[in-house]
Amino acid sequence: MARKNVTQRDIAEKCGLSVIAVSYALRGDRSNVSQATIDRVRREARRMGYDPSRSHAARRLRYQRTDTEIVNQLVALFFPFGEMHQPYWAYMFEGMQGVLAAQGFGALTCNVDVARGPFREQLPVLFRRGEVDGAIVFATEQYRDELITALREESGFRSRPIVTLMEPFEGCSSVLVDDVAVGNLQAGHLLDLGHRHLLAFRSERYNAPAVRDRIEGYSLAFRERGLDPEAGLHIWPWIWDRGIDLQEAAQQALQGHPAVTALLCPNDAMGIDLGRALSGLGYRVPRDYSMVGVDDTDVWLDRNGQNIWTTVRLPMRDIGSRAASLLLDRIAGGRPTYTSEIISPSLVVRQSTRPVRPRC
Amino acid sequence: MARKNVTQRDIAEKCGLSVIAVSYALRGDRSNVSQATIDRVRREARRMGYDPSRSHAARRLRYQRTDTEIVNQLVALFFPFGEMHQPYWAYMFEGMQGVLAAQGFGALTCNVDVARGPFREQLPVLFRRGEVDGAIVFATEQYRDELITALREESGFRSRPIVTLMEPFEGCSSVLVDDVAVGNLQAGHLLDLGHRHLLAFRSERYNAPAVRDRIEGYSLAFRERGLDPEAGLHIWPWIWDRGIDLQEAAQQALQGHPAVTALLCPNDAMGIDLGRALSGLGYRVPRDYSMVGVDDTDVWLDRNGQNIWTTVRLPMRDIGSRAASLLLDRIAGGRPTYTSEIISPSLVVRQSTRPVRPRC
DNA sequence: TTGTAAGCGTTATCAG
DNA sequence: CTGATAACGCTTACAA
């Protein structure tokens, strides 16, 4: 058990140098110390078991004199409580944790809630101390603005890097999904199978820009194939919430569109629930309706344990790890450049879609 | 914008005292300073906007001289990746966050993985710095021992408080569930409905002690009613995993026990999946089989959006908040007493159970 | 009850 | 290229 901490002074004594020379050497400051000394000091430091993390407090104290920010290896992850048990968030989180852990960073998970008062007062004390290096924010419209404002106003955080997920934000880097491509892949696949009347469910839980982009993607798929979206793209507003009678809602949607042979679902969870409801109504997927989702995070197993759910895959782990990388880059580099990274979706064809066959 | 930090010296000047007197006063050290001074200093400090969290680094630095632990308002939450998207973990997490956030504490979410090397090297650097005040550990047998050992060996953490969830551990406080009562409630309810042959699925994912206790609870329920568990309690080993053919497995289990009219499920998720598989086989719940789960975290909705799933409820939020409270108590109090708290389950009767009716 | 001196471990400044 | 000095803000030991 290393009883006493090894300090720079110990190293200095051992090397016959001054403490400050050691300080320079350890930081590799070539303009104040020779390369030879640097090497010698570093070797000795390693040998003696010098651990910079032990003297973090001293370093912090010293640096606040010059208003220099110091890396604490701690970042905050903001997300709504409701997303916690969604598989897609679990995957994103996994992606982030992988990158963060590899660098020794810790993840401070934070939830804010309008019901609990002003956001600034809900932030852990660590923020005020300036011990949080950056943040990844996954929040829906309403929360996001207020949250980011709160962070910017917190003097311990101020202008530190923020990465937003799924939506851009002024002054932040972000990791986005190409929602036009998502819609295009979904609709294109169905059109290529010969389906000509598609029903899209516009989930209210989706924020405006993403929904707009998806629909644009649908239309684009029609036009790219010389078809008229006005004629074949049917949009049904849909509130997907616990407590809704899925079968009744599904029945209603389908009866209003007898020509429809395929369904565009905004995400897997909703789509699979809907598919199950259709089965309950006596319809068969894909015999009666082809269905395609988004995410590839949920499964619909057939009796052989095979996943039959055709979907547009969003690489959630990648999104998470890209966000973390972006954040760490900005923390390390200090460059105030706001990068946006756009993640491309990909189509995963399984058995919930098949070529159209004419209605009797 | 508070450009310059207010320090104890500023307050001292304002009050015409020495810095050390202010230090004593702010900490309420009655043996070194008069109550009058304390009040005066504190009032002035508040007026000037003195913020102790700003000088945390200085305090840390000073205290490490006397090996005094200082509260950082940061605790670690350990859990397996696989549990992340389980609703029950989401609820526990919510319970913990509520308590922690109310005290300004931050939650450092940590996952360890044997595949990534020794646990000690996977810990965020914050541990080595001694900036983590305590930990809540939710890990299955295999991980738990190694993880807690790693924490104890980390010189920056050493003997700081740990609270384990669901299972006790030497030298830790813990929040436990009364699994005998869980089993007793499940089986007792079915027996009271007149069922005499119960099939229990012993999920392999459950750790040994909990499984043993549940089964003891089943037997107890029989004996309390003057019935013989040997005659009516049937146990079926069951591997519940993705990729399994649920219908086939279910078929097999039921065919082996023709007298069975009710099913004891180890948790909701598995039970509801199984119930759906039974529906697919043409059975009806509860007409053909009464089913009861554990957790009350998952729902099985009927066509009216009503949850029909009868289950034994484990108050996950309470478990989480109790664990956090236990931890904060030990962090604040410093008492090295290891408390175990046992949480009682409760029966929630819905429509997946009904009185037995004789088989044709 | 109050004040003085010293030090926690580091680094910016400036002189050699 | 190297080193002495001072300072970051706080608290313990000891003296007044």
- pLDDT string in tens for chain A (360-residue length): 334 678 988 888 888 888 888 998 988 888 888 888 888 888 989 998 888 888 898 988 888 888 888 899 999 999 988 888 888 999 999 999 999 999 999 999 998 887 888 898 999 999 999 999 999 999 877 789 999 999 999 989 999 999 999 989 999 999 999 999 999 999 999 999 999 999 998 766 555 788 899 999 999 999 999 999 999 999 988 776 665 677 888 888 899 999 999 999 999 988 998 998 898 888 999 999 999 999 999 999 887 778 999 999 999 999 999 999 999 999 998 666 889 999 999 999 999 999 998 655
Evaluated on CA atoms A331, A336, A340, A341, the torsion sign reads: negative
Q: CA–C1' span, A21 to C12, in Å?
A: 13
Torsion of CA A145, A147, A148, A153, to 10 degrees: 120
- Smallest Cβ distance to B245: which of A84, A242, A303? A303
Classified as helix, coil or strand, B240 is coil
Q: Do A106 and B104 touch (CB under 8 A)?
A: no
> Is the CB of B194 inside 8 Å of chain A's CB atoms?
no
What was the pLDDT predicted at A207? 58
What was the pLDDT predicted at A2? 39
Q: To which residue do tokens 């078991």 refer?
A: A49
Which chain B residue is nearest to residue A106, measuring alpha carbons?
Answer: B124
CA A35 to centroid of chain Cα atoms = 43
What was the pLDDT predicted at B29? 84
What was the pLDDT predicted at A206? 55
What was the pLDDT predicted at B127? 96
Nearest-neighbour CA in chain A from B65: distance (Å): 11
Q: To which residue do tokens 């259709």 refer?
A: A278
Residue type, B145: D
Q: Do A73 and B125 touch (CB under 8 A)?
A: yes
Residues lining strand C at under 7 Å (Cβ) are A 5, 7-9, 19-20, 23, 26-27, 32, 52, 55, 58-59, 61-63, 65-66, 68; B 16-21, 24, 31-34, 37, 58, 61-62, 64-65
Which chain A residue is nearest to residue B303, measuring alpha carbons?
Answer: A245
- Smallest Cβ distance to B81: which of A81, A94, A243? A94
What are the tokens at B145?
């021992």
Q: What is the pTM for the complete model shown? A: 0.92
Name the A residues in 19-58 with CB < 8 Å from any B CB: 51, 53-54, 56-58
B40 CB-side CA count, 13 A: 14
* Ranges of chain B whose pLDDT falls below 50: 1-3
Q: Phi and psi (nearest 5°) for A302?
A: -90, -175
Classified as helix, coil or strand, B165 is strand
Number of CB atoms found within 10 A of residue B217's CB:
23
- Report the distance separating Cα B261 and Cα B291, nearest Å: 9
Q: CB of A319 within 8 A of CB of A157?
A: no
What was the pLDDT predicted at A1? 31
What was the pLDDT predicted at A19? 87
Strand C: list positions under 7 Å from protein Cβ: 1-5, 7-14
- Report the distance separating Cα A174 and Cα B153, nearest Å: 39
